[in-house]
Amino acid sequence: MAGIKDVAQRAGVSAATVSRALSGNGKVSPATRARVQQAAEELGYVVSFNASSLASGRSRNIGVVVPTVSRWFFSTVLEGIAGELISAGYDLTLYDTGGQEQHRVSVFSDLLLRKRLDAVITVTLKLSDNEVRQLASVDKPVVAIGGFIPEIATIRVDDFNTTALLTEHLIELGHTRIAFLGGSEEFDVDFKLTTARQDGFEYALDQANLEVRPEWLLAANFTTEGAYRKIRSLLSMPRERPTAVVCASDEMAFGALLAARDFGIDVPGDFSVVGMDGHDLSELFGLTTFSQDARSQGIWAVRKILELLGERELERDPTDGFYPTEFIARSTTAPPPRP
């Protein structure tokens, strides 16, 4: 079996250069790296993970902590993270807390501290002071996706203003009777996502001197099924109905669209619907939404981690200010029906 010296001889470089080129640790020119990789491939040389880890002090393994993998946003963020880590030659260790406090305690007090990881990415988890100290004690770079965490590089979107802008879009079309569908209390634990988006909705109504009607402030579980039930109940009310609804996620907006269809309510002629996220199916539904590009957030979280590990330089810092979002107007919004 070929060894590192054989690869070095064929590539015309030192063994140390081969190690740096194949491990990703240290600076090597692209041309040299390509020459070393070609020589290794021709000789059938495979880097010894254990030897590389001992030499570099790195495990080339990144831990990712999420509250669940069953929802579109988290699975899409993970898709971006996994793809970028593979390209960088890193492994991924996934910790799914399942929303269970005891699982979260176990992850931060034990699993993450076993020194098998080079860095940690957390997704929509607001780290406590104690959790931050635990990670700092083992000198692990951390990047968070979600709301602001002091002393932690965080990729976050402006939930308040994006929801306000969605609401303003409906108001500019002429809507005055607008409902809001947010998440239930369990989704407000870490970064107050539901609160921030509802606050943006209420702010926009207030700026337009429109009434916030408590009976039109609804909560579901960020699923299409949960939203379908809530909006179906809303639209079945015999008295005055809203002419539009702001949904705190695209998946809930899909449920609103299906509920309107059940009642034969025309969208957008009689009822306008907006969502937020940029779900992969939002274009298929013709949904007006704010895209926050979840996959790209995962990619940039890895790039920021690699910068913190000293492996690359970034052309822009994704944690500097709010992550960019894009308003996309489609066919689910229009002026309200005439009285």
- Alpha carbon distance 274, 227 (integer Å): 13
Q: Are residues 212 and 272 in the same domain?
A: yes
Q: What is the pLDDT of residue 191?
A: 46
Q: Are residues 174 and 68 in the same domain?
A: no
Q: What values do phi and psi take at 116, rounded to 5?
A: -95, 0
CATH number at residue 113: 3.40.50.2300
Q: What is the mean pLDDT of the chain?
A: 87
**pLDDT tens column, 87-119:** 888 999 998 887 677 777 777 776 666 657 889
Q: Are residues 286 and 300 in the same domain?
A: no
Q: What is the pLDDT of residue 22?
A: 78
Q: Are residues 141 and 198 in the same domain?
A: no
- The per-residue DSSP string of 26-74 comes to S---HHHHHHHHHHHHHHT----HHHHHHHHS---EEEEEES-SSSHHH
The domain tally of the chain equals 3
**pLDDT tens column, 210-247:** 999 999 999 998 889 999 999 999 999 867 899 999 99
Does residue 329 form part of some domain? no
Number of residues that make up the chain: 339
Q: Are residues 178 and 280 in the same domain?
A: yes
- Alpha carbon distance 332, 289 (integer Å): 9
Range of the domain at 15: 4-47
> Dihedral sign, CA of 139, 150, 324, 330?
positive
Q: What is the pTM of this model?
A: 0.81
Examine residue 268 and say whether the peptide bond preceding it is cis (omega within 30 degrees of 0).
Answer: yes
